[in-house]
Amino acid sequence: MATQSKKTTSSSSQTQNCAAEPQGPALWKQLDAAAQCLQAVRGGQSATAVLEQVERSLRPGVQALLFQALRQLGRAQALRKELAARNPPPRVDNLLCTALALAWQEDAAPYPPFTLVSQAVEAAKRNATTRGQAGFVNACLRRFLRERDALVAATDKDPVAQWNHPLWWIRAVQKDYPDHWQQILAANNAHAPMTLRVNALRGQAAEYLQTLEASGLPGVRVGASGIELAQAAPVSQLPGFAEGAVSVQDAAAQLAAPLITEGLDQAQPLQILDACAAPGGKTAHILELAGAQQKWQMTALEMDGERARRIGETLERLKLKAQVLVTDAGDVDEWWPKANGRAQFDAILLDAPCSAAGIVRRHPDVRWLRRESDLPQLAKLQERLLAALWPLLKPGGRLLYCTCSIFHVEGRNQIKAFLSRNTDADLLTSPGHLMPGHSAGDDKLRENAIGDHDGFYYALLQKLAA
């Protein structure tokens, strides 16, 4: 996935769901750090960047608290306004919002609400920035505990509180999906599964699933090479990960390589381009499908040097080779001569920069960082890249356009406009817009279903012969 420069599970019993104190760092320390991170995200910084600044021993717990707070931020903001009509100082506001986001749903709270409240007050007392407002924090949160049901009911009419998305985002989803918008927004607030892609050069998914189960990591098959784990695990616990046996990749993202390589001859030295390749998952998957002979000549582009380095690391772990160029894919005259002497490509994958609206389950900060004005700007960038890359495709070749977005302006509308401008383009059978969540019914247990996946858009285009 390329973006512009860019579980919590309910428990049936209180004892199963939480403990009075976390194991490890004190809860007040984690809450204080989570509130600081929330303030930074609300100020425009990505959660990934701010979490890197958190003390390593605190980071896992803080990330869990922050992500849950971001998933419930709309409700938390509305509750805070009920408790204090005037905006308190930013650090106090974010501490209150963090505690309210975590505590307002008792069955989903990571700790008992009274524990979260007392520890949030402790955090206020311990931090010099908020110490003078500790009494105010205590009064607000104690009132919340006393009047929780009434306060929640008072915020139910606020759509931002109800759906935990910005109002413009809610309206955009309603417009694009008038019959399914509620399900889409609800799915965005759930947790995404950890899905693996088994390296076809190293083994089969069915065999690797048995290896996982023997290691105490059960899962189910999804797609041709995927396995959805019952519970997420560190990659260090995945058998053979360091040796390249398996990669982590969302089930919807695993559709890209088979779509772009369908019908390509493994025995021919074909030219393949991955135009916005970081972090390299789709590049690697294409090379895995190239077969043991590895005759396809793969070029991967990425304009950010650090992200390009990650492509190299991915390929090195999987023992695959590709030409990686640090460049803007739209600046064709700059990179095309270096890539292959201006030879046309047999296949092009354009995983275009987008709003990332399909992956907010994994990156819950995205919904609060994006602005409505970002969408037309991103659509122009996508249009520019399509126009730049289409002439580089051989007649009869295929270009796969994809985004990890559910918005029509970045998907079906973009391709409809492209087809109107390019009479030599034919839209082949394509998945189109995929919504986040599970496949219908029991399909996730079938080999040809992709299970619980992110939101995505795919359009497979073929260039007609002159």
Catalytic residues: 404
Eight-class DSSP state of 20: S
Euclidean distance between CA atoms 457 and 351, whole angstroms: 10
> Tokens 């990686």 — which residue?
324
381-417: b or e for each residue (b if 16 or more CB lie within 10 Å)? bbeebbebbbebbbeebbbbbbbbbbbbbbbbebbee
Euclidean distance between CA atoms 182 and 170, whole angstroms: 9
**Hey, what's the torsion of the CAs at 81, 170, 168, 174, to 10 degrees?**
-150
Helix (H) or strand (E) holding 393, with range, is strand 393-403
CA angle 385, 390, 393 (to 5 degrees): 135
Enter the tokens of residue 112.
């008992």
Enter the tokens of residue 454.
């992110």
Euclidean distance between CA atoms 431 and 320, whole angstroms: 28
6-17: b or e for each residue (b if 16 or more CB lie within 10 Å)? eebeeeeeeeeb
Burial of 207 (0-12, 13-18, 19+ CB in 10 A): exposed
Identify the CA nearest to 41 among candidates 368, 372, 360.
Answer: 368
In sequence order, the 6+-apart residues with CB closer than 8 A to the CB of 322 are 274, 283, 287, 298, 299, 300, 311, 315
Euclidean distance between CA atoms 66 and 30, whole angstroms: 9
Burial of 362 (0-12, 13-18, 19+ CB in 10 A): middle
Q: How far is CA 261 from each of CA 128, 289, 348, rounded to the nearest angstrom? A: 58, 8, 10
Over 413-452, what HEC string results?
HHHHHHHHHCCCEEECCCCEEECCECCCCCHHHCCCCCCC
